[in-house]
Amino acid sequence: MRLRRTGSKLSARRHSRQRNEHDRAKAAQCWLRGAEAYRKHRSIMGIYEEWILPVLIGLSMRNRRLRPYRQRVAGAAEGRVLDVGVGSGCNIPFYVQPAREIFGLDPSPRLLARAQSNTQRMQVPVHLLEGSAECIPLADSSMDTIVMTWTGCSIPEVGTALMEMRRVLKIGGRLLFVEHGRAPEPGVARWQDRLDPFWMRFSGGCHLNRKIDDLLADAGFRIDRLETGYIPGPRIMTFFYEGAARPR
């Protein structure tokens, strides 16, 4: 009986060891499959962000309904102008005198390459700069006007970027803007909050729920003019803020 019990214990230990080895092997296989799936996902997202997303952004920003906003905002710029998030250059044709020099800033080299074609017929110098709005590569108090059109929604550290814009503006300079953002109706705003994490992953970091006037005030701007309202389309993404602000 003792020998049987000992043999039984040995058999149980062997079985347990084999089961543990099998579990470890299965876990390792699962980890490898997960790592491979993650690698493929990152590869797909890299292709999407590098090749597909710039095209989609360029197409969406050429929406004919946005044209009157661009004409008003860019057309009011004066002196040395910084276009933050110049993208594919949709604002560039709307710059007129008294704008005398344009600087277009964007982090995407592919969008900047598209913007280059819009600079050919300009009567004033246009300089395209690859860089981030959180660290603008321009001197303090060097710009008369900053133009921001549907850009504040997608800047990762928007508060830092707005303070950088205030830094490069001259005393008395103006920030001219049109942005989409948080709607005033609680029901619409709740849906913006719910959908924002999903939306921003596939839209280049665009947020649905940023309250533009509050962000400007928090960054040290005084709003001189502000008009708000919806344009046709889904209400979660069509509440617009248009106006002008100056550094306090």
pLDDT of 48 reads: 45
Residues 6+ apart with CB under 8 A from 1: none
Going across the sheet that includes 126-130, the strands are: 126-130, 99-106, 79-84, 143-149, 169-180, 239-247, 221-230
- What amino acid is encoded at 26 in this protein? K
* C-alpha torsion 188→194→199→205, nearest 10: 100
pLDDT of 60 reads: 55
* Residues 146, 165 contacting (CB under 8 angstroms): yes
pLDDT of 96 reads: 93
pLDDT of 33 reads: 46
- pLDDT of the chain along its 248 residues, tens only? 444 444 555 555 665 565 556 555 544 454 444 334 334 433 434 544 554 555 555 545 556 789 999 999 999 999 999 999 999 999 999 999 999 999 999 998 988 998 998 898 898 999 999 999 999 999 999 999 999 999 999 999 999 999 999 999 999 999 999 999 999 999 999 999 999 999 888 777 899 999 999 999 999 999 999 999 999 989 999 999 999 999 99
pLDDT of 42 reads: 37
**How does strand 99-106 pair with strand 79-84?**
parallel
